[in-house]
Amino acid sequence: MVSRILLAVVCTAALAGFSFALAERLEDTTYVPYEHKAIQYFETPTNEAVKRLDDLLDQGKAKLDYAGGGLGYLPSVLKQLGINVDSQVLVYTQTSFQAPLISPQRPRAVYFNDDIAVGFVQHGEVMEVSALDPTQGVAFYTLSTYKKDKPAFARREVCLQCHQGGHTLGVPGLVVSSAYMPKGVEVEHARGGFVTDDRTAIEDRWGGWYVSGDLGAQKHQGIPIGAGIEPKFDTSAYLSPDSDVVALLTLEHQTRMTNLIIRVGWDTRIAKADGKLEESKAKLDAAIEDMVGYMMFVDEAPMNGPIKGVSTFTKTFPARGPADKQGRSLRDFDLQKRLFKYPLSYMIYNKAFDSMPDWARDRVYRRLYDVLSGKDTSPKFARVSADDRRNVLEILRATKPGLPDYWKATSN
pLDDT value of position 23: 54
> Regarding beta strands 89-91 and 209-211, do their DSSP bridges make them parallel or antiparallel, or are they unpaired?
antiparallel
CB atoms within 10 A of CB 390: 13
Query: CA-to-CA distance for 25 and 22, rounded, in angstroms?
Result: 8
Q: How many CB atoms lie within 10 A of CB 123?
A: 10
Query: What count of other Cβ atoms lies within 10 Å of the Cβ of residue 67?
Result: 13
- Distance separating alpha carbons of residues 171 and 402, to the nearest angstrom: 27
Q: How far apart are CA 203 and CA 219, in angstroms?
A: 5
- CA nearest 241: which of 257, 229, 259? 229
Tell me what pLDDT residue 187 has: 57
Give the contacts of 51 (CB within 8 A, at least 6 positions apart): 2, 45, 131, 133, 139, 153
Alpha carbon 330 to its chain centroid, in Å, reads 17
- Look at residue 323 and give its three-state secondary structure: coil
What is residue 3's predicted lDDT score, i.e. its pLDDT?
44
| CA 73 to centroid of chain Cα atoms | 23
Q: Specify the pLDDT at position 149.
A: 94
What angle in degrees, to the nearest 10, is found between the helix axes of 386-399 and 358-372?
140
Cβ–Cβ < 8 Å for 95, 206: no
- Taking the mean position of all CA atoms in its chain, how far away is CA 266? 17
pLDDT in 10s for each residue of the chain, 412 residues: 554 333 323 332 223 233 345 556 788 888 899 999 999 999 999 999 999 999 999 999 999 999 999 999 999 999 999 999 999 999 998 877 888 889 999 999 999 999 999 999 999 999 999 999 999 999 999 999 999 999 999 998 888 888 899 999 999 999 999 998 666 666 555 666 899 999 999 999 999 999 999 999 999 999 999 988 888 999 999 999 999 999 999 999 999 999 999 999 999 999 999 999 999 999 999 999 999 999 999 999 999 999 999 999 999 999 999 999 999 999 999 999 999 999 999 999 999 999 999 999 999 999 999 999 999 999 999 999 999 999 999 999 999 999 999 998 654 4
**DSSP assignment of 163-179:** HSSGGGTTSS----EEE
